[in-house]
Amino acid sequence: MYRTVIIEDDSVITHLNRRYVEMDNRFCVVQTFSAAHPALFWLRSNPVDLIILDVYMPQMSGLDLLRALRAEGVDADVIMVTSADDATTIEAFMRLGVTDYLIKPFGYERFQLALKTFCQRRNAIHSGKFTQTKLDSALLHISSTGAGSSSAMPKGLQSQTLSLIEGYLRDTAQKGHTCDDIASHVGLSVVTVRRYMNYLVEQRIITSDMDYNTGGRPCIIYHIRDTDDPLSAEP
């Protein structure tokens, strides 16, 4: 399991990032920080695999923090999650070797892609010898099968269950659904449904949006894509 740290001064965004990360069972959030100095002190003696980092923070910017971490030999991968969208800032982070750069606001699909790419790079590096296809997948978000292809489903997913869920979504395409809603209608656990929804999002069969108007914690709403939507066939 990949040890992950979130460094973000906005508590709402921290909660959202944490939820996104922990929806992927390959990751575990071991610590969160609202300022750079405590994060720098903690990371000096606590190795992690991945840092989710903002730019604009009190005490020290995310850019200065990453420079300090690199100078001290902290080589954790970094995904930027920030509103900083100017070329100078983006280029500076790219020179420091960030794994990905997400500009707020963004959807769960994009965050999921960042995590997937991180895992692909880690797996490729640990597997030893590279091929061009493997390198393209690890560095450029390019899949040899394509996002909308009929590649084999991940281990543990069943085609009949997938068809059941997808059929329900198509039958009720006029509205969006939460995992709780879907689970109650198809007779599966919420945890099981979430795994299938993550796969359907990855395959661009459905889309996901965050609903903040719940009166409590925000929740993810899923919508089936129109079969005529050209995005459903994008790689």
Digit-coded pLDDT (tens) for 178-229: 999 999 988 889 888 988 888 888 888 888 888 777 667 778 899 887 654 4
Residues 6+ apart with CB under 8 A from 55: 61, 62, 63, 80, 82, 83, 84, 89
User: In this structure, are residues 184 and 203 in contact, taking their beta carbons and an 8 Å threshold?
Assistant: no
Residues 6+ apart with CB under 8 A from 63: 55, 89, 92, 93, 96
Alpha-carbon distance 140 to 137, whole Å?
A: 6
Query: 133-144 in b/e burial notation, b at 16+ Cβ within 10 A?
Result: eeeebbeeeebe
- With bands split at pLDDT 50, 70 and 90, how would you rate the model's confidence at 3? very high
Inform me whether the pLDDT recorded for 129 exceeds 70. Answer: no
- With bands split at pLDDT 50, 70 and 90, how would you rate the model's confidence at 127? low
Average pLDDT over residues 153-171: 82
Summarize pLDDT for 105-121 with one digit per residue, the tens.
887 888 988 898 888 78
What pLDDT, on a 0 to 100 scale, did the predictor assign at position 145?
A: 41
Of 35, 46, 139, which Cα lies nearest the Cα of 94? 139
- Domains identified in the chain and CATH numbers: 2-106 (3.40.50.2300), 159-233 (1.10.10.10)
Burial group, residue 146, by CB count within 10 angstroms (0-12, 13-18, 19+): middle
Q: What percent of the chain has pLDDT over 90?
A: 38
